Amino acid sequence: MDFATLIGLALGVGLIGYAVVGVSAALPQGVMTFVDVQSLMIVLGGTIAATAIAFPVKEVLSLYKNLTAIFSAEREKDRDTLLEVVDLAAVARKGTAELEKALGGVKNLFLKDGLQLIVDGLPEEDIRNIMETRVTNREVREDAEANVFKTMGTLSPAFGMVGTLVGLVAMLFAMGAESSGDDTIDPAAKLGQAMGVALITTFYGALFANLLFNPIAAKLRSRIEKRNVSQYMIIEGVVMLKNRKHPILVKEFLNSYLPPKDRVYET
């Protein structure tokens, strides 16, 4: 579990919820004043509809996958990967046959694929090319997915405004139409309520964008960059293993991918 996401979400929903409950205590419908299904439909529905137009089906369907990914912690740590590569460097110096045997125990899939290329006997240049192409294309795909949330983060306030405009136009016309009708209900009261309803879509739009879509897009983007660093570290490691470099040199080199306090100084 990624507790930061969870705590953040709980905190945000809690705080805004508390404020909403607080200000709506004196209202006749209480907190239900802020729950309006039609407004929700315009904002969420409009956002999803425009997103469906904006992206290929495959990326829209990645929404759910990414939502769950956001709540689960990253499994692997760069430091562990580094230690694994350094250990394998000692094995690789004994020969490709030894490396092949060790292959079964490698957990990181990207590292495993890279080692397989060494075992297959490809030259250094090809190994680097294949692995870098893989990283680039992984990034292109993941960026496209993070973009779905980013787009939702701009669309959601826009549809919030669309909803408010619909409400305002209706209210303004009603103001004209009904002012000559019966006056059992206070017109100011009606006006206030109509405008309140109209503003709820803007509130929904701003809330979804800033508490959900934008932060999720940011987290996906930050994971992509973190993964890039890990994979480039692995590529350098695999190339060094291919060249049978000494484990100490491998460690020294890969250390430069880690923040100072995570660096490994003894094996």
Residue ranges in 76-115 that form contacts with a second copy under rule CB under 8 A: none
Q: Residue 195 contacts by C-beta under 8 Å, 6 or more apart in sequence?
A: 167, 168, 171
Q: Under the criterion CB under 8 A, does residue 7 sit at the interface with a second copy?
A: yes
Instruction: Please pick, from the candidates 192, 244, 246, 267, the single residue that binds a second copy as defined by CB under 8 A.
Output: 192
Count the residues in the chain: 267
Site string for a second copy, 233-262 (x = CB under 8 A): ---x------------x--xx--xxxx---
Stretch that binds a second copy, among 87-95, 97-105, 180-188 (CB under 8 A): 180-188
CA gap 145, 48 in Å, rounded:
14
The answer for residues whose C-beta is within 8 angstroms of residue 88's C-beta and 6 or more apart is 99, 102, 106, 115, 241
Output 74 or 98, the one with its CB closest to a second copy.
74
Q: Give Dmax over CA atoms of the chain in angstroms.
A: 96
Do the beta carbons of residue 81 and residue 234 sit within 8 Å? yes
Q: Under the criterion CB under 8 A, does residue 35 sit at the interface with a second copy?
A: no
CB of 84 to a second copy, least distance (A): 19
User: Tokens for 248?
Assistant: 């100490």
Q: Does 149 bind a second copy (CB under 8 A)?
A: no
Does 190 sit near a second copy (CB under 8 A)? Answer: yes
- Residue 205 contacts residue 158 (beta carbons within 8 Å): yes
Question: Among residues 94 and 170, whose Cβ is nearest to a second copy?
Answer: 170
Residue 15 sits in the site that holds a second copy (CB under 8 A): yes
